[in-house]
């Protein structure tokens, strides 16, 4: 089982590549630098594909999106100071969005000179940077091995911890001789077979808790499920739909839970929260029993705990979560179902059933929030509501939409009615701008689906070099830039023009930018031009950038702010 003979005479770097291969790692998103060069020098002869992003931020988002989409880690690799700065963006998103990721980095140490603070040294000695302290703040776990044996065991543990319980990012800091020396023939302690060492087991709720939850759902007159990102993480889509249909329960989702159920389903109500659907928020407030699955119920989801939204004294709350700390964290729970979302939902589906005359009619009326009259506006510049509906017309069950941060994601949240599961992903963990474009490239690389990235001009500009990465690696996402030549969400917080510095941008020609990267593009100033451009982008063999000029006077917060949110004083950004 140890596989010691297989590593005899190999450098640690060579053995590390063998570990990645044995664990079925498909992609390393890596930027060469420092001791990571040792790893990237050995990867070309392996079965692992290396994608070189334009910087560590893009690579970190690509790795995070891969983990979110596939439920297993990709690897982010790069030199320590940059993984601990630029590369923190994707790690933070992975930590808060529960996406598995393994980071392989290094401390830029210089052997015996490390205590003298040489250039870029980040081991933590006096005079240098402390990469371990940085990673401690954003990863689930990190390791700093000092020998070849520790290196191999640490990488195995990094993969294990990345998917154990609530998934997230883990990191290994490769150090000096611990990556370049040969692996000993008889390592102490032994290095076990990687597949065996990394194995995890799914947890499931107790029979007693399932029975209590079943009783509550069967006796409910107005049962509602709140489906969160945990349903995505557990790939529990069939089980969610089965429970909804078994108990006649309306399904609302958190923002990160969007597309855990097709939003066209007759029990789907939409997305809850501060900038969510008014219909979905009202449904949750009317429920007599709430089944919360894989959702921590953060303040954005709960309308900052508006007193009339969720009422533990009046509603029965069943909270299903992989982490017992999350169940009953925000609101006291009557029943906790601790375990993998798929296991918890399957147990409920098997245990009982009920029906009512409320759910389907109520869900149908809630879905009216997906539409407003401006969704049909023909004016130019394009109303953002209409822009989303033109995107929706191109989205089918085999299309993935990646949404950036800012106004654009809230327009999408409200007016893009997803037709299938796993069709929508947004930066809703830490919510960093610039997420959408590299996430779209990652999705296009690792699936055979059409991919549409949607971002504002501010967010797109942050990572628009991702378009060049798509060109280089032969994938063709469509990049929609909802362009209002400003940092729209912040600009709209102003009481008067000019109140906040730094919100206006000069007019960038994104079509020329795309062409400079070797991609195609076009500008759209009317809804019909946008519709034509989206069709052209879908059919293109090259990445396609659409510079969509939207009406900057459409105030997102004014139109989409939840009525419950108003109870607690409005905007909390």
Query: Tell me: the pLDDT tens digits for 49-67?
Result: 999 999 999 999 999 999 9
pLDDT score at 461: 96
Helix (H, G, I), strand (E, B) or coil at 126: coil
Summarize pLDDT for 450-485 with one digit per residue, the tens. Answer: 999 999 999 999 999 999 999 999 999 999 999 988
CATH superfamily, with its number, for domain 207-369: TPP-binding domain (3.40.50.1220)
Q: Are the CB atoms for 341 and 292 separated by under 8 Å? A: no
Q: Are the CB atoms for 159 and 23 separated by under 8 Å? A: yes
Residue range 410-435: mean pLDDT, rounded: 96
pLDDT score at 5: 41
Share of the chain above pLDDT 90, in %: 86
Round the average pLDDT of the chain to a whole number and report it.
Answer: 94
pLDDT score at 572: 57
Residue range 338-351: mean pLDDT, rounded: 98
pLDDT band at 4 (very low <50, low <70, confident <90, very high): very low
Higher pLDDT, 406 or 544: 544
Q: Are the CB atoms for 74 and 66 separated by under 8 Å? A: yes
Residue range 261-270: mean pLDDT, rounded: 98
Higher pLDDT, 230 or 487: 230
Q: Which two tokens stand for residue 410?
A: 């809230």
Q: What is the value of pTM for the model shown?
A: 0.96
Summarize pLDDT for 7-33 with one digit per residue, the tens. Answer: 556 899 999 999 999 999 999 999 999
Distance of CA 324 to the CA centre of its chain: 22
Domain ranges of the chain: 12-198, 207-369, 372-560
Higher pLDDT, 134 or 119: 134
DSSP character at residue 181: S
* One CATH from 1.20.1260.10, 3.40.50.2300, 3.40.1350.10, 3.40.50.970 for 372-560: 3.40.50.970
- 3-state percent breakdown (helix, strand, coil) of the chain, nearest 5: 40, 15, 40
pLDDT score at 7: 55
- What angle, rounded to 10 degrees, do the helices at 436-446 and 56-70 form? 50
pLDDT band at 6 (very low <50, low <70, confident <90, very high): low
pLDDT score at 163: 97
pLDDT score at 556: 85
Higher pLDDT, 125 or 9: 125
In terms of phi and psi (left: phi > 0; alpha: psi -120 to 50; beta: otherwise), the region of 340 is beta
d(CA 429, CA 26): 24
Summarize pLDDT for 194-246 with one digit per residue, the tens. Answer: 999 999 999 999 999 999 999 999 999 999 999 999 999 999 999 999 999 99
Distance of CA 51 to the CA centre of its chain: 19
**How many C-beta atoms lie closer than 10 Å to residue 363's C-beta?**
24
pLDDT score at 529: 98
In this predicted structure, the answer to whether residue 3 has a pLDDT above a threshold of 90 is no
> Comparing 12-198 with 372-560, is the CATH topology the same?
yes
d(CA 66, CA 210): 33
Class of CATH domain 12-198: alpha beta
- What angle, rounded to 10 degrees, do the helices at 148-163 and 12-22 form? 20
pLDDT score at 557: 85
């Amino acid at each position: 089982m140890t596989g010691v003979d297989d590593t005899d005479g190999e450098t640690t770097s060579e053995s590390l590549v063998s570990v990645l291969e044995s664990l079925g790692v498909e992609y390393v998103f890596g930027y060469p630098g420092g001791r990571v060069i040792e790893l990237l020098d050995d990867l070309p002869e392996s079965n692992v594909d290396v994608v070189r992003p334009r910087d560590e931020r893009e690579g970190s988002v690509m790795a995070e999106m891969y983990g979110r989409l596939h439920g297993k880690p990709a690897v982010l690799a790069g030199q320590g100071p940059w993984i601990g700065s630029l590369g923190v963006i994707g790690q933070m998103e992975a930590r808060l969005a529960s996406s598995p990721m393994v980071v392989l980095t290094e401390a830029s140490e210089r052997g015996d000179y490390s205590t003298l603070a040489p250039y870029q040294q980040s081991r933590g000695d006096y005079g240098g940077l402390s990469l371990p302290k940085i990673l401690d703040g954003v990863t689930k776990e990190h390791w700093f091995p000092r020998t070849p044996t520790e290196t191999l065991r640490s990488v195995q543990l990094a993969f294990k911890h990345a998917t154990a319980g609530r998934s997230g990012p883990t990191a290994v800091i490769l150090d000096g001789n611990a990556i370049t020396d040969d692996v000993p023939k008889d390592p102490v302690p032994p290095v076990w077979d990687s597949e065996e060492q990394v194995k995890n087991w799914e947890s499931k709720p107790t029979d007693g808790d399932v029975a209590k939850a079943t009783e509550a759902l069967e006796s409910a007159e107005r049962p509602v499920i709140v489906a969160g990102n945990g349903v995505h993480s557990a790939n529990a889509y069939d089980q969610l739909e089965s429970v909804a249909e078994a108990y006649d329960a309306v399904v609302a989702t958190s923002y990160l839970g969007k597309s855990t159920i097709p939003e066209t389903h007759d029990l789907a109500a939409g997305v809850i929260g501060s900038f969510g659907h008014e219909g979905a928020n009202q449904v949750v407030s009317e429920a007599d029993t709430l089944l919360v699955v894989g959702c921590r119920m953060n303040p954005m989801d709960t309308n900052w705990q508006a007193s009339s939204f969720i009422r533990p004294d009046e509603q029965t709350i069943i909270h299903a979560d992989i982490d017992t700390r999350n169940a009953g964290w925000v609101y006291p729970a009557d029943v906790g179902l601790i375990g993998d979302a798929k296991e918890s939902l399957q147990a409920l589906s098997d245990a009982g059933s009920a029906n009512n005359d409320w759910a389907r009619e109520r869900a149908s009326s809630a879905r009216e929030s997906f539409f407003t009259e401006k969704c049909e506006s023909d004016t130019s510049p394009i109303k953002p509501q209409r822009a989303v509906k033109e995107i929706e017309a191109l989205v089918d069950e085999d299309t993935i939409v990646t949404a950036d941060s800012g106004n654009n994601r809230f327009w999408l949240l409200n007016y893009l009615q997803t037709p299938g599961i796993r069709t929508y992903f947004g930066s809703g963990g830490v919510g960093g701008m610039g997420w959408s474009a590299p996430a779209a490239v990652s999705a296009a690389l690792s699936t055979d689906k059409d991919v549409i990235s949607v971002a504002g001009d501010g967010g797109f500009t942050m990572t628009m070099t991702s378009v060049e990465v798509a060109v280089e690696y032969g994938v063709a996402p469509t990049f929609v830039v909802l362009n209002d030549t400003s940092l729209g969400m912040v600009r709209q917080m102003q009481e008067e023009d000019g109140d906040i510095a730094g919100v206006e941008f000069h007019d960038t020609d994104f079509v020329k930018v795309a062409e400079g990267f070797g991609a195609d593009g076009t500008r759209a100033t009317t809804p019909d031009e946008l519709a034509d451009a989206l069709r052209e982008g879908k059919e293109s063999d090259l990445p396609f950038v659409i510079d969509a000029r939207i009406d900057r006077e459409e105030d997102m917060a004014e139109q989409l702010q939840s009525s419950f949110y108003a109870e607690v004083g409005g905007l909390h950004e």
